[in-house]
Chain A
Amino acid sequence: MSTVQPTRPWVATTADRVRDGLIFVVSIAISYGLVAATPLKGKLAYFFTFFAILTLANGLNGFLRYGFAAAKDAAIKTLVGVGALLTVMPIASILATVISKGYKGIKPNLFTQDMSLATPTDPLNNGGILHAISGTLILVFLSLIMSVPLGILTALYLTEIKGRFSKPIKFLVQAMSGVPSIVAGLFILSAVLYPITKGYSGFMGALALTILMIPTVARTSEEVLNLIPQDLREAGTALGGTQWRTVAMIVLPAARSGLITAMILGVARIAGETAPLLLLTGGGDKVNGNPFHDPIGSLPYYIWKSFNAGSEEAITRAWAGLLVLVVLILILFTTARFLSTRKVSR
């Protein structure tokens, strides 16, 4: 009796891998030599020479082994791979810069003190960003509770009611998602702050952020609700449910994880907004728990202000604030991805 071994003939053999590795190493060596021998200079020159030579070498390898079609295939594969790498590089580079410059400012007092008793030139073990972190959390929370209901209701109008105004509303929501944040800030400044409240407050900032957040929440929710099969809505009404009860009991629960994602994407959209906050919140160096009165700090505002202060300590503080903000947003995105991919299980 013969025993059949499972094989995977479509996977590259060790010899193939060694050859690919050799081509890679040789390409690096040639590009190094080329840059040294010619007037080309700098990191970018290395990168692009290497890129061109690797594409050529892989193409040549494909041509020698399997002919012209394989040569094109190999060359384009290399191009696509390097293109993807190019896209990721700026993001990785931003992260690396923020971490390498920001970690120096991360001290315990950063999270327990504010800047009310510290000046920009104070050493890093004095003062902190508690006022900015708490301010950003308050602003995000306020915007969240204002924009999520409005955004989801808009989405429900577009997907469930499909009323006469669906088309113009859809158009407006799309147009609104392109509104520059400074416009939202100026609008609240001239429509609410000057005529009515006459003073900086967190609430003013939250109003502007809400304007920016609603389109994101509404559009994402609309897409999520459109994915819910029409069958389920019909099944709900066929059981004697009114449209409202069908939506509340069947459509929204079925879309739950997607709606949570919509919410978090909305938060991520506004968490780093700076322009409207410069106009409306007044900054402030003290922890202020009351969003309806007096200036309130926020991370983007703090970063902007610290960079402007210019002293070495202030700039380190700004990088530390940036690091905290980036980590905050990364946590939000990771949560969004986790919640949206998680299977409903019980």
Chain B
Amino acid sequence: MSSLSARGIHAWFGKHHALEDISLDFAPGTVTALIGPSGCGKSTFIRTLNRMHEFIPSAAMAGEVLLDGKDVYAPGTDVTKIRLQIGMVFQKPNPFPSMTIGENVLSGLKLAQLKVDNKDDLLEECLERAGLWKEVKDRLGAHGGSLSGGQQQRLCIARALAVKPQVLLMDEPCSALDPGSTLRIEETIRHLSESMTIVIVTHNMQQAARVSDHTAFFLSDGGPGHMVEFAPTNEIFSRPKDKRTEDYVTGRFG
């Protein structure tokens, strides 16, 4: 398992300073939750980790993201290799519409031109790990769009797993889902954390408390978003050091 750490991350959109000086270490095999009100830079932060930030035309950044000690922004780094090692699940389920369920899961292999010996085994393994195998094993040839929202999101998780990432970034993966699907995805996350490092952005306090080992609280008080507190999850929720964290996790603001 790989270690991932962020060192002094800043982010800008044009002249707007969106994120200020974030340093965080993600220990291998742990789940880290990022919480905070909307617009505080959580999503921006995780998108700097796998270099998705640079897709926004006016974006700029500063700082280092170290994957196994190597800066992913170092000159000469192969970006596609970085994104293979740091997978991502998005807020809205986005299965590829022109592909079947099976093709969706294996699409990463084709996109990144990877070879595997036994595709069927990999397909079953990924769907199994994403908690979707039992529901779709008889209709792998159906279109991804024919699944329910929760199933589509687990399909996207399975798709991210197929390229064997070391780290999985999840940007509010349950915000579009009903409680039942949310629960199933949380089980999946707990299960996956045995073999990979997970970073999850969530607006759901209970979710952070249920799935994460560490929690970071981000806040923007008018200026750029910054990290107020980072601690083991039970400490954040039971005895936060900062008054603002306490107010937020107890629902007094935000």
Residues of A within 8 A of B (CB): 162, 229, 231-232, 234-242, 245-246, 249-250, 253-254, 256, 344-346
Contact = CB atoms under 8 A, between A and B. Distances in A.
B248 to A, nearest CB: 29
Interface in B75-93: 80-81, 83-84, 87-88, 90, 92
B156 A235 contact: yes
A281 to B, nearest CB: 40
A240 B143 contact: no
Contacts of A344: 97-98, 143
The range of chain B's interface size is 20 to 34
A237 B57 CA distance: 16
Nearest to B97: A254
Contacts of B52: 234, 237-238
Given A241-B111, A245-B113, A249-B107, A235 B83 contact: no
B98 A235 contact: no
A16 B80 CA distance: 68
B161 to A, nearest CB: 11
A231 B88 CA distance: 12
A189 to B, nearest CB: 43
A242 B160 CA distance: 16
B83 A238 contact: yes
A250 B98 contact: yes
A242 B80 contact: yes
B11 to A, nearest CB: 17
B141 interface: yes
Give 6 closest A-B pairs by Cβ, nearest first: A241-B111, A240-B84, A240-B112, A253-B98, A239-B108, A238-B88
Contacts of A162: 57
23 contacts: A229-B94, A231-B90, A234-B55, A236-B107, A237-B80, A238-B90, A239-B84, A239-B87, A239-B107, A240-B81, A240-B83, A240-B112, A240-B163, A241-B111, A246-B111, A249-B107, A249-B110, A250-B98, A250-B111, A253-B96, A345-B143, A346-B100, A346-B143
Contacts of B112: 239-241, 245
A236 B83 CA distance: 10
Given A231-B92, A250-B96, A238 B143 contact: no
B92 to A, nearest CB: 6
A109 to B, nearest CB: 47
Contacts of B84: 239-240
Interface string B90-134: 101010111110000001101111000000000000000000000
B159 interface: yes
A239 B55 contact: no
B166 interface: no
B51 to A, nearest CB: 9
B48 interface: no
Interface in B13-72: 50, 52, 55, 57
Given A241-B111, A249-B107, A249-B110, A235 B94 contact: yes
Contact of B141 (A232, A253, A346): A346
Nearest to B50: A238
Contacts of A240: 80-81, 83-84, 108, 111-112, 163
Nearest to B85: A240
Contact of B87 (A234, A238, A256): A238
A162 B84 CA distance: 25
Contacts of B55: 234, 237
Contacts of A345: 143
A16 B150 CA distance: 49
A346 B99 CA distance: 10
Contacts of B87: 238-239
A254 B50 CA distance: 25
A224 to B, nearest CB: 13
Nearest to A236: B111
